[in-house]
Amino acid sequence: MSEAFLAVKEIHKSFNGQKAVNGISFTIDKGEIFGLLGPNGAGKTTVIRILSTVLEADAGDVTVGGYSLRKNPAAVRNLVGVCPQDLALYEELSALDNLIFFGQLEGLSGREAKSQAISHLSLMGLTERGKGKISKFSGGMKRRINLAIALMGNPKLLFLDEPTVGIDPQSRNNIFETIRSLRDKGMTVLYTTHYMEEADRLCDRIAIMDGGKFVAMDTPQGLKRQIGDPDKVTLEDVFLKLTGRSLRD
């Protein structure tokens, strides 16, 4: 039996009386890549913001690596790395300065932060651009830096909120490979995306979320089996079947 590294129990969150997250429970095992899918406005980002301690849930319990998020948020922060959906970078600083700054905020010394920053830059294929200002970077490069920052301080659990949105196949492949190699080293990952085949290839288990609730949670194969022959249907078929065809937002 593998142990749950992240356990989420019945979390709720409303904005101005509107339920964004409506009672969600799940666990992610150590070393697992867990996919969170759902149409726009389903509540994926809200879940990640709650789990990464920047937003407080109205109700529910979360534990990470045995630490309660409510009682010991500092310990939780220490274990997690977050790649937010929106690029959160200092455009006027260099890539290296961004990485070092966030690394130091994770508790690394200046020297450790620098050496990690350099190795993450090379992981992202951006070694040459370390001294360049973010504002001069392409969208794909910014996405890769956004992810590299999440890796600073060697987190044990990664929250990746659409890390591959709006970028070319090359950049996407790079990010993809990075996540795989991290998983192989034992990293636990919560991953959201709108690219179904990406989720299919990458995730060990997937939850499909709609209107703040989970409508399904299974392995990719298991999900496909729910609607037909797993070798014939795609994850997108499952997604559309479960969440309907009406437009959101």
Partner 1 sequence: MQQLRNIWLLTIKDLKLFAADRGALFFAIIFPMLFVVLFNYMMTGVMGEDSRLEINLATQEPAGGISYQIIAAMETKDATTLKPGEPKITWLRDYEQAKQDVEDKKLSGFIAFPEDFSEAVMMGYGTSLEVIFNPNNMEATAALEGVAQSIASELGASRVVNDTVISLLVEKDLFSTGAAEDLGQEIQALLARQATAAGNEMITFSTQTVGEVKAENPANFVIPGYLVMFVFFTAAFSASQLVKERQNHTLERLLSSSATRNAVLGGVFCGTAAKSLVQITIFWLVGIIFFKMNMGTSPLAVILISILMILVSSAFGVMLATMVKTERSASSIGVITSLILAPLGGCWWPLFITPKWMQFIAKITPHGWATTGFNKLLVFGGDFASVIPEMLVLLAFAIVFGLIAVLRFKTNAD
Ligand X SMILES: Nc1ncnc2c1ncn2[C@@H]1O[C@H](COP(=O)(O)OP(=O)(O)OP(=O)(O)O)[C@@H](O)[C@H]1O
Binding site for partner 1 (CB under 8 A): 15, 49, 52-55, 74, 77-78, 80, 82, 84, 86-93, 97, 101-102, 104-107, 133, 149
Residue 80 phi, psi dihedral angles, 5° rounding: -110, 150
For partner 1, the closer of residues 5 and 239 by Cβ is 5
For partner 1, the closer of residues 54 and 59 by Cβ is 54
Residue 16: count of CB within 10 angstroms of its CB? 5
Measured at the CA of 57, the angle between CA 240 and CA 3, to 5 degrees, comes to 75
Rounded distance, CA 157 to CA 177, Å? 17
Q: Is 46 in the site for ligand X (CB under 6 A)?
A: yes
Q: Is 243 in the site for Mg ion (CB under 5 A)?
A: no
Residue 154 C-beta: closest distance to partner 1, Å: 13
Residue 234: count of CB within 10 angstroms of its CB? 14
Strand segments (E) across the chain = 4-15, 18-29, 33-37, 59-64, 67-68, 80-83, 157-161, 188-192, 205-210, 213-218
Could you give the C-alpha distances from 196 to 36, 87, 140, in angstroms and in order? 11, 22, 20
For partner 1, the closer of residues 58 and 91 by Cβ is 91
Instruction: Restricting to residues 15-54, name those near Mg ion by CB under 5 A.
Output: 44-45
* CB under 8 A, 24+ apart: contacts of 225-229: none
Residue 80 C-beta: closest distance to partner 1, Å: 7
Binding-site partner at residue 86 among Mg ion, ligand X, partner 1, none, CB < 5 to 8 Å by type: partner 1
Instruction: Restricting to residues 83-102, name those near Mg ion by CB under 5 A.
Output: 85
Summarize as ranges the residues that interact with Mg ion (CB under 5 A).
44-45, 85
Summarize as ranges the residues that interact with ligand X (CB under 6 A).
15-16, 20, 38, 40-46, 85
